[in-house]
């Protein structure tokens, strides 16, 4: 089981290591857009939409990595009061009865829209925008799959008696 956990964690780590660079690209593109607009009076819809695409990609594909490093916001006033066993139970409950069913439901309900978007190669959000809305919609099931994979790793870690993450 340790090998499976290591593989799943490694996959999330690789994805996180790649998508983190999108944050830098997004800042640089946004800087260029602002300078072009306010210094040179130039504007480009596709450039502005590219920031939306990068923002979406960063957060949707980075969610599994965020779960790996325990970076998601935890709104639980009792969690820290429980010992290791109580924390493992809360984490296991959260994965099995909240995260997994939600991600499966999101995949189920979003899949027809993703398939339809690809079938027509759905065009830009705005006139002159990026002609890849189908890519944005594909991020939804990708987000769910990445979270499900990392959730499986977390469940295995809990089952073999691993310590909950701080």
The residue ranges of every structural domain in the chain are 2-71+82-159
Average pLDDT of adjacent 10-residue blocks, the chain of 166 residues: 95 97 98 97 95 97 96 80 89 95 98 98 90 96 98 95 65
Q: Which residues contact 149 (CB under 8 A, 6 or more apart)?
A: 8, 11, 12, 64
Residue 24's nearest CA partner among 36, 35, 15, 32 is 32
Average pLDDT of every residue of the chain = 94
Structure tokens at 33: 């857009």
pTM (two decimals): 0.91
Q: Are 136 and 159 a contacting pair, CB within 8 Å?
A: no
| pLDDT at residue 72, rounded to an integer | 84
pLDDT of residue 57: 98
The residues, ordered by sequence, that sit 6+ positions from 23 with a Cβ below 8 Å of its Cβ are: 58
């Amino acid at each position: 089981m340790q090998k499976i956990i290591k593989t799943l964690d490694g996959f999330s780590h690789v994805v996180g290591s790649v998508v983190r660079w999108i944050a830098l690209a997004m800042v640089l593109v946004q800087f260029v857009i602002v300078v072009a607009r306010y210094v040179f009076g130039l504007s480009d819809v596709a450039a502005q939409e590219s920031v939306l695409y990068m923002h979406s990609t960063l957060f949707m594909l980075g969610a599994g990595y965020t779960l790996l490093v325990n970076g998601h916001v935890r709104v639980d006033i009792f969690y820290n009061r429980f010992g290791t066993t109580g924390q493992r139970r809360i984490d296991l409950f959260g994965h099995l009865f909240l995260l997994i069913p939600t991600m499966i439901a999101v995949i189920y309900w979003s899949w027809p829209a993703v398939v339809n978007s690809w079938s027509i190669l759905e065009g830009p959000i705005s006139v002159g925008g990026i002609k890849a809305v189908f890519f944005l919609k594909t991020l939804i099931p990708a987000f769910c799959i990445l979270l499900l994979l990392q959730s499986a790793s977390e469940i295995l870690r809990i089952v073999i008696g691993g310590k909950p993450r701080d």
